[in-house]
Structure 1
Amino acid sequence: MDCQMIVSEISQRKQKDGGIKEVVWIAAGGSHGGFYPAHYFLDQEAKHIRSKNITSNEFVKAPPKFIGKNTVAVICSMRGTAETIEAAELAKKLGATTIALYVDESKLTEICTYKIAYQSLAIDESDFSKTNSVYGLRLAMLLMNEVEGYFDMAIALDEFKKIDQVYKQAALDIRPKAIKWGLQNRESTSIHIMGSGPTYGAAYIFSICNVMEMLQIDSPTVNSCDFFHGPFEVINEETSVFLLMGQGRSRSNDERAARFLKQFGGHKVFVLDAKEIGLNQFDERISEYFNHLIFAPILNNVFMRELAYQIKKDYNTRTYMWKASYK
């Protein structure tokens, strides 16, 4: 069953209960960050649907009071993370309609009423129009269109078809800059990742999953807007900063940060512009919401891998994950 059929069926079933009123996006780690574009879209566009993006274990320990029969819970785990499975069980118990996004079948897909298989953004052979973030955003748009209407729905559905081609060309075109960035950061012990608005989720994933988890390098995530309310005090000529300059209304915030960094930063300041990776090829009416869908795989598959190569690091190794007990 595809996204449209799932949304239509849920909407029909919920009519007797007053319809769909809330959407909660539940996942852990990179999957949690991967729901950022879906939540961001509803948070910006929806007038009546409430949206919340929450980590699995936070949901388990402190579920929001609004969760109930009018809630759609979209829950993502590649292979069935234990705390995400527990969150799915709780969401269902509280009355929410559950949708699982997954790569491998697990207890998560047994629990949830609906399920959608996605393709991993970490695999070069994947169709990048079928990743978890893409399906999340598609579901968000379809849900809004079903409940209150979305004027640009038809445009968005056409633009989704471009994602795989745009990403794969961008991955080839940007590699020379990734090599230069990797060489500049071979000895960096901390890398600040910055973004704002629709790019913040991609910045967050790059920081916690790519740089910290895979490469074991310290990496704070900073919102370009809040950069001027504390974080800019640590900037000097040796500070390593990776700034995502997005497409859309928040771009001026990233440009403001870039101007400051150009004046006070040093040779380790790097700006990745949405226009360099093809975001300007999408219709300007919806391109803002597609930032993450191109940025996230570019950061994981091009920049993270290049830095791993430069520092001679096997990015599949971990210090604690899958080894230490952290229940």
Structure 2
Amino acid sequence: MNVNEIITEVSASLQRIGGIGQVFLVACGGSLVDMYPAKYFLESEAAALQVGMYTANEFVCATPKILGANSLVIVCSHGGDTPESVAAAKLARERRAVTVTLTHNDRAQLIEHADHNILYAWGNDTNVIDNPMAIILSLCVETLRQVEGFAGYQDFQQGLRQINGVIAAGRRQVAGRCADFARRFKDESLFYILSSGASYGHAYGFAICSLMEMQRVNASAIHSGEYFHGPFEVTDGETPFILMMNEGRTRVMDERALTFLEQYAGKVEVIDARELGIGALPPSVVEFFNPVLFYSIMCEYRAALADIRHHPLETRRYMGQVAY
């Protein structure tokens, strides 16, 4: 079943009890990061439909009281066997919620607790709209359309058709920059990552997954709007900043941060969605696609850094190596 068919079936099954009232987005680590654009979208566009995003263990330990028969719970786990995510899906079904799960593993434990499961594609040669970030966003767009309507629905579908081409061109455009970035920053021990809007989740994800997990480099995400409310005091000539600049309503916050960084910071890497061509997408929905673009582009950056540091992205010290 595709996204439209899944949400149509869920909506029909809940119609007699008032339909879908809440959407809960539940995952861990990188899979949770993939859910942030969908959270941002629903918080921005929904008038009545409620949304919550939870790391899976907290969803289990501090379960929202409203979770119940009118809830749609979307749970994502790449390997499909993350214990916290499996437990979250199991709990959701026990509370009579409808569960839609996403995984890359067709034998995943997660599927056992799914009303609907989406087995997604993965790898650099896949179409980005078949990857979890775009699928989860599409699930939430479709849910909003069917529950209360979404005027930008056709524009969103156009964006889905266009984004892969924008990403392919963007990757070619940054190839040389990634190599230069890796040369300049290979010996750094701390990075600050800034962004806003739907892309703040990817700033967080690049910090905790790409740098801390995959490179064992200290990193912290800072919302561009929060930068001037404390964090900018650490700005100096020695600490590197990475700024992902969005196209859309929150760009003004990224531009303000850039103006300050250009004056007071000595090491700044700017990745600008506008420069990379995302403006080709319809203006009404372009902001929701910024993080889809940034994910693919930042994969190029992290690969270049891993290569020059001789630290493969798959190397782990604790994850999957020891009991935790």
**How does the TM-score come out when normalised to structure 2?**
0.97
Residue type matched to 1:98 in 2?
T
Match 1:312 to one of 296, 310, 313: 310
SS in 1 for 2:130: coil
Q: Which residue of 1 aligns with 2:5?
A: 5
Residue type matched to 2:303 in 1?
R
Q: Which residue of 2 aligns with 1:107?
A: 109
1:176 has 2:176 as partner: yes
Looking at structure 1, the residues matched to 174 and 282 of structure 2 have their Cα atoms a distance apart, in angstroms, of 22
Aligned partners of 1:4 and 1:142 also within 8 Å: yes
Looking at structure 2, the residues matched to 276 and 98 of structure 1 have their Cα atoms a distance apart, in angstroms, of 39
- In the alignment of these two chains, the number of paired residues is 322
Question: How is 1:258-297 mapped onto 2 (pairs within 5 angstroms)?
Answer: 258-266=258-266, 268-297=267-296
SS in 2 for 1:261: helix
Q: Which residue of 2 aligns with 1:148?
A: 148
Looking at structure 2, the residues matched to 16 and 261 of structure 1 have their Cα atoms a distance apart, in angstroms, of 55
Aligned partners of 1:27 and 1:75 also within 8 Å: yes
CA offsets 1:227-282 (integer angstroms, 9 cap, x no match): 1111111111011000111111110000000000000000x211110113221121
Looking at structure 1, the residues matched to 321 and 146 of structure 2 have their Cα atoms a distance apart, in angstroms, of 45
Q: Which residue of 2 aligns with 1:322?
A: 320
Instruction: State the 1:17 CA deviation.
Output: 1.0
Aligned partners of 2:101 and 2:110 also within 8 Å: yes
SS in 1 for 2:321: coil
Question: How is 1:210-249 mapped onto 2 (pairs within 5 angstroms)?
Answer: 210-249=210-249
Instruction: State the 1:142 CA deviation.
Output: 0.6
SS in 2 for 1:247: coil
Residue type matched to 1:314 in 2?
P
Show structure 2 runs of 5+ residues with no match.
Answer: none
1:191 has 2:195 as partner: no
Residue type matched to 1:116 in 2?
I
Aligned partners of 1:199 and 1:291 also within 8 Å: yes
Instruction: State the 1:41 CA deviation.
Output: 0.3
Show structure 1 runs of 5+ residues with no match.
Answer: none
CA offsets 1:199-232 (integer angstroms, 9 cap, x no match): 1011111111101100010001111111111111
Instruction: State the 1:77 CA deviation.
Output: 0.6
Q: Which residue of 1 aligns with 2:89?
A: 88
CA offsets 1:32-62 (integer angstroms, 9 cap, x no match): 0100011100000000000011111111111
Instruction: State the 1:163 CA deviation.
Output: 2.1
SS in 1 for 2:177: helix
Aligned partners of 1:308 and 1:314 also within 8 Å: yes
SS in 2 for 1:168: helix
Q: Which residue of 1 aligns with 2:99?
A: 98
The 4+ residue runs of structure 1 with deviation greater than 4 A are: none
Residue type matched to 2:114 in 1?
C
CA RMSD of aligned residues (A): 0.9
Give the share of equivalent positions with the same residue, in percent.
34
Looking at structure 2, the residues matched to 247 and 63 of structure 1 have their Cα atoms a distance apart, in angstroms, of 35
Residue type matched to 2:211 in 1?
V
Looking at structure 2, the residues matched to 30 and 297 of structure 1 have their Cα atoms a distance apart, in angstroms, of 13
SS in 2 for 1:88: helix
Q: Which residue of 1 aligns with 2:137?
A: 137
Looking at structure 2, the residues matched to 224 and 160 of structure 1 have their Cα atoms a distance apart, in angstroms, of 26
Looking at structure 2, the residues matched to 87 and 234 of structure 1 have their Cα atoms a distance apart, in angstroms, of 38
